[in-house]
């Protein structure tokens, strides 16, 4: 088993464990047989102790002050202002196409707004950082929401977004992933794992995959010829001030973990 294959299995197991844990609390004993995870606890422990798991940096839990938050908010604004999107070349085969959600729309569906930054700004920051970290290793490009060349061949297409909720319902949404068929599920869950690891989230805090229709039927999926997987990552609920601050301060760690996950994923044999 290759190392990245191993990690893929870890993610699958972690997710099934989470699901089994949350479901079995509500069902009567006797129906649990059907919910057993694929691996035994011993096998799971062996996988979790693999050094690859520790290559993903983990949220330190340190408190941060307002200055640190402002620093990252201003970095996000700069990343948005000076974003260099890439021109796609139909003769190339890309490893990763990253799309900055809603960028640079000024009307129509322009994206969500937090207290400190707008969705386009935090998405621009994370996309820029991921590209920076991968550019020497993979053929990675960053594209806007509209006007890019279509039918481009790439291993992975990933759109970066944040979620929004009305004020009366803020701080109830977790991160989520969206994709249009099961061939994308493992890859996207792997990215969800990278995000969960960054913020020390239990994966049960995520929304169900494709919890909104827009996630499953994301408009740009049909614009790319992906050979591995395509999906949307809703990194966090931007309308929750606490989560917004966390996402800003953790943006670089998130980019590191996403870059590592994308790097490992592109090493998978293609199906």
Q: What is the DSSP letter of 128?
A: H
The 10 Å CB-count burial string (b at 16+, else e) for 49-65 is: eeeebeebbebeeeeee
- Give min distance, CB of 159 to Zn ion, in A: 8
The window from 72-80, 108-116, 148-156, 258-266 that contacts Zn ion (CB under 5 A) reads: 108-116
Contact status: 187 vs Zn ion (CB under 5 A):
no
Instruction: Look at the chain and count its residues.
Output: 271
Q: What is the DSSP letter of 268?
A: S
**Residue number with CB closer to Zn ion (10 or 130):** 130
**Residue number with CB closer to Zn ion (37 or 178):** 178
**Residue number with CB closer to Zn ion (235 or 264):** 235
Asked if residue 157 lies in contact with residue 179, where contact means CB atoms within 8 angstroms, the answer is no
Contact status: 80 vs Zn ion (CB under 5 A):
no
Number of residues that bind Zn ion (CB under 5 A): 3
Query: Applying CB under 5 A, which of residues 75, 133, 161, 223 lies at the interface with Zn ion?
Result: 161
Asked if residue 93 lies in contact with residue 113, where contact means CB atoms within 8 angstroms, the answer is no
Query: Applying CB under 5 A, which of residues 101, 174, 175, 231 lies at the interface with Zn ion?
Result: 101
The window from 7-15, 70-78, 156-164, 169-177 that contacts Zn ion (CB under 5 A) reads: 156-164
Asked if residue 2 lies in contact with residue 267, where contact means CB atoms within 8 angstroms, the answer is yes
**Residue number with CB closer to Zn ion (11 or 233):** 233
Burial class, 134, CB count within 10 angstroms (exposed 0-12 / middle 13-18 / buried 19+): buried
How many angstroms separate the CA atoms of 173 and 240, rounded? 9
Catalog residues that contact Zn ion under the rule CB under 5 A: 101, 111, 161
């Amino acid at each position: 088993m290759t190392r990245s294959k191993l990690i893929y299995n870890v993610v699958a197991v972690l997710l099934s464990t989470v699901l089994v844990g949350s479901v079995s609390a509500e069902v009567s004993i006797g129906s649990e047989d059907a919910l057993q995870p694929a691996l035994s606890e011993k096998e799971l422990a062996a996988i979790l102790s693999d050094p690859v798991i520790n290559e993903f940096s983990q949220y330190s839990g340190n408190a941060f002050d307002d200055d640190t938050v402002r620093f990252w908010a201003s970095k996000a604004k700069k990343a948005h202002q000076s974003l260099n999107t890439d021109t796609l070349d139909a003769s190339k085969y890309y490893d990763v196409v990253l799309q900055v959600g809603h960028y640079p729309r000024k009307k129509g569906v322009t994206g969500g707004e937090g207290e400190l930054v707008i969705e386009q700004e935090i998405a621009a920051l994370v996309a820029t950082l991921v590209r920076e970290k991968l550019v020497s290793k993979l053929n990675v490009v960053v594209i806007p929401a509209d006007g890019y060349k279509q039918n481009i061949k790439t291993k992975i297409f990933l759109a970066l977004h944040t979620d929004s909720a009305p004020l009366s319902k803020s701080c109830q949404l977790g991160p989520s992933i969206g994709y249009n068929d099961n061939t994308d599920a493992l890859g996207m869950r792997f990215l969800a794992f990278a995000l969960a690891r960054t913020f020390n989230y239990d994966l049960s805090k995520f929304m169900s995959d494709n919890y909104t229709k827009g996630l499953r039927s994301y408009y740009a999926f049909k614009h790319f010829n992906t050979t591995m997987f395509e999906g949307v990552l809703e990194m966090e609920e931007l309308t929750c001030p606490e989560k917004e601050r966390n996402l800003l301060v953790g943006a670089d760690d998130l980019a590191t973990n996403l870059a590592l996950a994308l790097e490992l994923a592109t090493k998978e044999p293609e199906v």
